[in-house]
Structure 1
Amino acid sequence: MALQLIPDPSLAERTTLRLGGHAEVEAVLREASDLDELGTFLTRHTLRPFVIGRGSNLLARDGRCDIALIRAAGQPGPTRVERSDEGLVVRCGAALALPGLLGWAQRAGLTGLEGLTGIPGTVGGAVAMNAGSYGVEFGQRVSRVRLWSPSGGLTWVGADRCSFGYRRFAVPDLPAGRLIWEVEIVLETSTPRAVRQAMREVYGKKRTTQPVTARSAGCVFKNPEGDSAGRLLDRAGMKGMRRGQMAFSDIHSNFLINLGGGTSAQALDLIELGREVVKTRLGVTLETEVIIL
């Protein structure tokens, strides 16, 4: 199957905030052989490559940007690979939706990911951002990752070579900018009923503390060490603060939501206001967690 190139893709249609202008092109990968064509395409064009999953942690600017979006689609998985001393090794493509992986694990009676219930995005994004919630980080479960670059092709990298941190993933002995193609994780055996109950408890808590059904990109700011960005924004009086049709949620201040008809300019203005007010009133400089494209 040949690499699919979609001209003039709308960023608003590809992000959960429903904001942004247009990129130059979107390259859709469905098979490993498409990666060779992608390498050729990237060497022939001066566009900036950017891997996009389900757009759940992105704030795209208005207007046009010289970006080639890269999106994997239709990869197989999850599949059971083998049983190790730690548990059952499961392999899945980076394009798989993270909720889909959790649902599959629940039906299979496999535990270890329940704390990530309610997080949108893809498995590849969960690796790249080391998705975390309720004491669970995706990187804790990674056994190895299959990465691709135009110069190095596809290669498996073991967890011992990976560096996972707070919303961060890197392989220190490899150049940055590699595409995540597949991942293997280790889960333990439980029962479908027990896993389902744990997932329900997590989602129930999130529904009362986060705007899980709103147009949002998740947390705007990273938590400073030993503190909570949401608590700091609350203290600074930012809960419910609006700029046009963009607002800090009145349920959780660290969630930026699109009330309908918002713009990227309004969102960026509100983010800078929140950062400035927290710095001025509380002496803390907040770092953005959402990726601004």
Structure 2
Amino acid sequence: MRETPSPLLAERTSICLGGRAIAELHLEAEDDVFRLAERQKQLGGRLFFLGAGTNILAADGDLPVILVRYAEEGEPTVVRDEGERVMVRVGASVPLPRLLRFCAAHGLSGLEGLVGIPGSVGGAVAMNAGSFGCEVGPNLASVRFFDGSQIRDADGSQLSYGYRHMRMPGEVAGYLVLSGTFSLTRKAKDDISLVMRHNFFEKKSKQPVTAWSAGCVFKNPAPDRSAGKLLDAAGYRGKSLGGMMFSPLHANFLVNTGKGSASAAFDLMRMAEDEVRRRFGVTLEPEVRIVS
């Protein structure tokens, strides 16, 4: 296990915001998880499991948290081939786009809708990432995770998931994904690549995929009610404050224009929440994970 003192969250999140944590612990092997409790006791603060930092909004200033990152990557691996059904195991720290490239190269279908989503496989599992009608949860055959005291394996039938959440079996308040095994089907490589390209360009035309952003900042309040449309109707598309802005491309993307701060981000979010509640009687819930 390696350790970095006083890491800056602004350098570890896709929205480029956030103050300093107490330390950052890099887990280089599964067994390193059993050293976390003792190191936390020595350092103080609480543990925060961090993937690629793509859905994180961290407060400014000194933060009472210890960042924990699982550093073992490796490559996606076929662990069982049943003909039409193929099981692919992938480590939590592997970037999601790398897994999708592997699927396209090997003619494995099921995850095409996730194209354009940044971040790591572990984060995608923990958030039950989804797009274009595709979610991580239904494609999981099993998950290997650390529940704070032991390493456990759960098969897909034991998982409880919904819109942007994944619950492991048992009373697990917080957990660290170590790996996931995906159940995929065989399909022509060209067909998979064609769908992925279409989805990517569709997303790029409607979302600020290259901006400093944490992705969608609010959850959709209902399947047929979009947070982005509510924010747009409330006048928040392109609305800015202190270097933060709701994207002109998609009103539910909060963007750091280069000189933003977390305090400005939180203020702009509160303003938007209040206006949506006033106009439509809807309370928006953050989709980003807030670190404070």
TM-score, normalised on structure 2?
Answer: 0.96
2:40 and 2:59 mapped to 1: Cα distance?
A: 23
Question: Mapping of 1:10-159 within 5 angstroms?
Answer: 10-84=8-82, 87-151=85-149, 153-159=150-156
2:204 aligns with 207
* 1:85-132 CA distance string (max 9 Å, x none): 871000011111111111111111111111110000110101110000
1:287 and 1:264 mapped to 2: Cα distance?
A: 17
- Decide whether the 8 Å contact of 1:30 with 1:75 is kept in 2: no
- 1:38 aligns to what SS in structure 2? helix
- 2:277 aligns to what SS in structure 1? helix
2:164 aligns with 167
- Decide whether the 8 Å contact of 1:31 with 1:75 is kept in 2: no
Quote the offset at 1:83 in angstroms. Answer: 2.5
* 1:2-26 CA distance string (max 9 Å, x none): x101100010000000001100000
2:114 and 2:98 mapped to 1: Cα distance?
A: 12
* 1:60-89 CA distance string (max 9 Å, x none): 110011101000113222100102487100
1:190 aligns with 187
Is 1:234 aligned to residue 232 of structure 2? Answer: yes
Quote the offset at 1:187 in angstroms. Answer: 0.8
1:256 and 1:117 mapped to 2: Cα distance?
A: 20
1:255 and 1:204 mapped to 2: Cα distance?
A: 17
Q: Percent sequence identity over matched residues?
A: 43
Quote the offset at 1:150 in angstroms. Answer: 4.1
1:125 partner amino acid: G
Stretch moving more, 253-262 or 176-185: 176-185
Quote the offset at 1:43 in angstroms. Answer: 4.3
Shift of the 165–85 alpha-carbon distance from structure 1 to 2, 3 Å rule, reads farther
- Decide whether the 8 Å contact of 2:50 with 2:69 is kept in 1: yes
- Decide whether the 8 Å contact of 1:86 with 1:186 is kept in 2: no
- Decide whether the 8 Å contact of 1:161 with 1:173 is kept in 2: no
2:130 and 2:26 mapped to 1: Cα distance?
A: 27
TM-score, normalised on structure 1?
Answer: 0.96
2:247 and 2:101 mapped to 1: Cα distance?
A: 28
1:143 partner amino acid: A
- 1:63 aligns to what SS in structure 2? coil
Is 1:222 aligned to residue 186 of structure 2? Answer: no
1:84 and 1:54 mapped to 2: Cα distance?
A: 32
* 1:179-206 CA distance string (max 9 Å, x none): 1111111111112221111110001111
2:173 partner amino acid: A
1:247 aligns with 245
* 1:189-224 CA distance string (max 9 Å, x none): 112221111110001111111111111100011001
- Decide whether the 8 Å contact of 1:47 with 1:68 is kept in 2: yes
Which stretches of structure 1, 4 residues or longer, exceed 4 Å deviation after superposition?
none
CA RMSD for the aligned pairs? 1.3
2:20 partner amino acid: H
2:38 partner amino acid: T
1:32 and 1:211 mapped to 2: Cα distance?
A: 36
